[in-house]
Amino acid sequence: MYKGFLKNITEPSLEVLRYVILIAMLFYILTPLVWLFITTFHPRGGPYLEIPEKPTLENFLILFGIVKMRVGAAAHPVYMHKWLLNSFIIAITTMIIVVVLSAMAGYALSRLKFRGKSILMASLLIIGFMPTIAKLLPLYKLCIMLGFINNLIGVAIVVASGALPVQIWIMKGFFDHIPRDLEEQAWIFGCSKLSALFRVVMPAAGPGLMVVAFFSFLAGWGNFTVPLILIRTETLFPVSLGIASVFLHHPGEIGLAVEYGPLCALSLIYALPSIILYYLTRRYLMHIKLARIEVGV
């Protein structure tokens, strides 16, 4: 009786609390985005929030070089369409590499049983633990040896190597959740192992592939450090480098020396593919299956 009474009081107040927390969280997350959105349509985008009197689309025109930004010392994003294309190439290539390799590795790790498998799984996570900044020069020298300079595919490969470990874990999780019986039944019905793999296992792991595709696309799409050291011609820059070379160009302190209007407009455009990809994969993103940690090291 008493318990029920307590419950009657706590339930609604908990419900209210729930919404309060949600609103606080959304406030934290959305405020900067609101600023971003407003500044995009501000004719003279400054770093601080100002509601524009006359909203314009000029910033988008500036981005594609239709309208010149400013007289005097201002760079013009002459290669914007190429930069978008390059980013896209890097992102797609990264995606393909990561999806294929992590699917292969994930399947093998899921089905194989060997000693030291758990150590291998753990070392996958540990392998990239050295901070990037310490590895930078060796990585650069290595890439020069391999001829990855000014090579978009090379960039994608390096980015993919960084994204692989986690994605292998995710892929293995998905394969673990596909019962072996399913495959075995397929064998009984006369499927060869290979065709069972493609006809039964892969479709069942489809959501996993989508999830990996989403993450790896974003890894390639937004990367800055790897193209920074490998790409040395403006026409081959991805957008992240383009931003760093065109809109952040004034000397002086970092940060406040920025062309905010076009930068925000670019951010909106830059966010589009990710949003589309999210829309395509939204059903699967909430069903990520992770490999169990079965490490005995």
Partner 1 sequence: MSISIKLLVLIIVAIVIIAGGLYYYFYILPPKKIKISLYTKAGLWADFIRETKIIEKFRERMLREKNIDVEVEMITRPHKGYRDTLVADLAAGTVGDVIWIGDTEIPGSAEAGHLLDLTPYVTKWDRWKKFFPVGKKLVTVKGKVYAVPFETAPLVIFYRKDIFERAGIPIPWQPESWEDIYEAARIIKEKVPDIVPINPMYGIELPIFAAGGIIYDPKDGKFIVKSDAILACFKYYYEVFHARKLAPVELWLEKWDTRKYFQEAKLAITVDGTWCWREKWGPGMPYEIRDIEKVVGYALFPGSGAPGAPKYISLTGAYCYAIWAKSKHKDIAWELLKELVKPEYMAEWGYRTSHLVTAEDAMIGKYAEDPFLKWAAEVLKHSLPKPLIPGVKKYLTLLKRVVIDYLLPEAKTPEECMDIFAEMATKELGADKVKALPPYKL
Partner 2 sequence: MLKLIKFFSLSNIYKLLHRVLRDIKSGLIDIYLPLFLVPALTLLIVFQLIPTIWAIWYSFTDIELLGRKLFEYNFIGFENYSDLGEDPIFWKSMSVTMEYCIYSLVIRFTIGLAAAFYITSKMRIAKYIVALLLLPYTIPGTVIPYIWLSMLDTRYGTLNRLLSLVGLPPQSWVYRRAMESVIMINCWAGYIMAMLILASALKSIPEEYYEVCEIYGASRLFRFLHITLPLIKYPLILCIILIFKEDIDDFTYVYMFTEGGPHYRTELLSLYAYHKAFAYYELGYGCAVGVIVAIIVFLLTLAQIKLSRIA
Residues 197-226 that bind partner 1 (CB under 8 A): none
Residues 81-140 that bind partner 1 (CB under 8 A): 136-137, 140
Exposure string for 77-115, b = 16+ CB within 10 A, e = fewer: bebbebbbebbbbbbbbbbbbbbebbbebbbebbeeeee
Copy the structure tokens of residue 72. Answer: 């005097």
Decide if residue 135 touches partner 2 (CB under 8 A). yes
Q: Find tokens 């509601």 and name the residue.
A: 51
Which span sits near partner 2 by CB under 8 A: 61-69, 73-81, 164-172, 229-237? 164-172
The span from the CA of 216 to the CA of 214, in Å, is: 6
Residues 53-112 that bind partner 2 (CB under 8 A): 97, 101-102, 104-105, 107-109, 111-112
Decide if residue 245 touches partner 1 (CB under 8 A). yes
The helix-helix angle for 80-111 and 152-176 (nearest 10°) equals 40
Residue (of 99, 277, 276) closest to 174 by Cα position: 99
Q: Compute the Cα dihedral for 139, 141, 145, 149 and give only its sign.
A: positive
Which span sits near partner 2 by CB under 8 A: 53-61, 72-80, 124-132, 229-237? 124-132
Decide if residue 278 touches partner 2 (CB under 8 A). yes
Residues 37-66 that bind partner 1 (CB under 8 A): 44-47
Residues 6+ apart with CB under 8 A from 71: none
Decide if residue 253 touches partner 1 (CB under 8 A). yes
| Residue 54 binding: pick among partner 2, partner 1, none (C-beta 5-8 Å cut-off by kind) | none
Decide if residue 229 touches partner 1 (CB under 8 A). yes
Decide if residue 72 touches partner 1 (CB under 8 A). yes
The span from the CA of 174 to the CA of 47, in Å, is: 44
**Based on CB atoms, which residue is closest to partner 2, 71 or 286?**
286
Cβ atoms 169, 293 nearer than 8 A: no
**Interface pick for partner 1 out of 127, 144, 276, 293 (rule CB under 8 A):** 144
For partner 1, the binding residues (CB under 8 A) are 44-47, 70-76, 78, 136-137, 140-141, 144, 149, 228-229, 232-234, 237, 241-242, 244-246, 248-254, 256, 259-260
